[in-house]
Amino acid sequence: MERFSLNQATTKYWPLPALAAGCVEAGVRQVGLWREDIQGYGVKDSRRLMDDHGLTVTSLCRGGFFHDDGWLDANRRAIEEAAMIGAPVLLLVSGGLPPGRRDLDGARARVGERIGELVPDALAAGVQLAIEPLHPMFASDRCVVSTLAQALDLAAPHPPAAVGVAVDTYHLWWDDTVWAQIERAGREDRVACFQLADWVTPLPAGVLLGRGLPGTGAADLRRFVAAVDATGFTGPIEVEVFNEALWSRPGPDILADTLTAFRSVVARE
């Protein structure tokens, strides 16, 4: 339980002060936050809120979208906000193909170059960038980084303190090479963030909001927990579930179910 972190996206409509109080109430000490939410509440006020409740911020979502105009300033701001909120890790979602383009390799290479440009800022801020591979169904419109192998290749030129990877079970569960790549991520000291969500079907239109609480779907989450444990990673395990039906419920109820779900896959048998 001490490794559990509630990613705010799981309780999307729970206002930050209520979320902070609700976490304390439930014995939760760690949260992963989102930029739009802490911006809405004020980044400094959000930090104070977390501190006042004794909550540790495990990650901030997110930078990236490297093909957008203004990507450099946007990512520098994201790094600053991560430092301000006290998050050791900033998740990066690379963005999809530039409009009208089909050159995935080229798009991925450009992502790598642009991450390189952020390395000095990340080191200066003490914020580790976490390259997050998203499921291949997002490759065209959201993230050209689809596998852990690709994320590790992109991270390779940079110091681990600046660039790591995110292991999100929802995106990686289908990949038979992921186990070897998790081992590699450990060996190369790149595991920056570990997130749990389960794979449930049928997928909804747009495929973004159909994730399941851990244990409700097809992903072998226990195997992921064991594999990430085996790398020596002892950091937080976030639960991050985008699901409209879940979101429609009261925050405390979602959190209670999230904790039950977390225990069901993380508890030793």
Summarize as ranges the residues that interact with a copy of itself (CB under 8 A). 96-97, 102-105, 108, 135-137, 139-141, 146-147, 150, 173-176, 199, 201-207, 217-220
In this complex, which beta carbon is closest to a copy of itself, that of residue 4 or of residue 173? 173
Number of other residues whose CB lies within 10 A of the CB of residue 174: 12
In this complex, which beta carbon is closest to a copy of itself, that of residue 56 or of residue 140? 140
Number of other residues whose CB lies within 10 A of the CB of residue 219: 24
Question: Could you give the CA distance from residue 249 to residue 121 in angstroms, rounded to a whole number?
Answer: 39
Q: How far is the CB of 97 from a copy of itself (least distance, A)?
A: 6
In this complex, which beta carbon is closest to a copy of itself, that of residue 11 or of residue 147? 147
In this complex, which beta carbon is closest to a copy of itself, that of residue 2 or of residue 269? 269
Place of tokens 């050791």: 88
In this complex, which beta carbon is closest to a copy of itself, that of residue 1 or of residue 203? 203
Say which DSSP state 8 is in. Answer: G
Q: How far is the CB of 184 from a copy of itself (least distance, A)?
A: 15
Q: How far is the CB of 179 from a copy of itself (least distance, A)?
A: 9
In this complex, which beta carbon is closest to a copy of itself, that of residue 18 or of residue 104? 104
Residues 6+ apart with CB under 8 A from 127: 79, 82, 83, 87, 88, 89, 90
Residues 6+ apart with CB under 8 A from 234: 3
Contact 26, 256 (CB under 8 A): yes
Q: How far is the CB of 2 from a copy of itself (least distance, A)?
A: 26
Q: How far is the CB of 152 from a copy of itself (least distance, A)?
A: 13
Q: How far is the CB of 146 from a copy of itself (least distance, A)?
A: 6
* Start-end of H helices in 27-147: 35-41, 43-52, 71-85, 104-125
CA distances from 105 to 31, 209, 248 (A): 34, 27, 39
Q: How far is the CB of 73 from a copy of itself (least distance, A)?
A: 27
Question: Could you give the CA distance from residue 9 to residue 15 in angstroms, rounded to a whole number?
Answer: 11
Residues 6+ apart with CB under 8 A from 202: 210
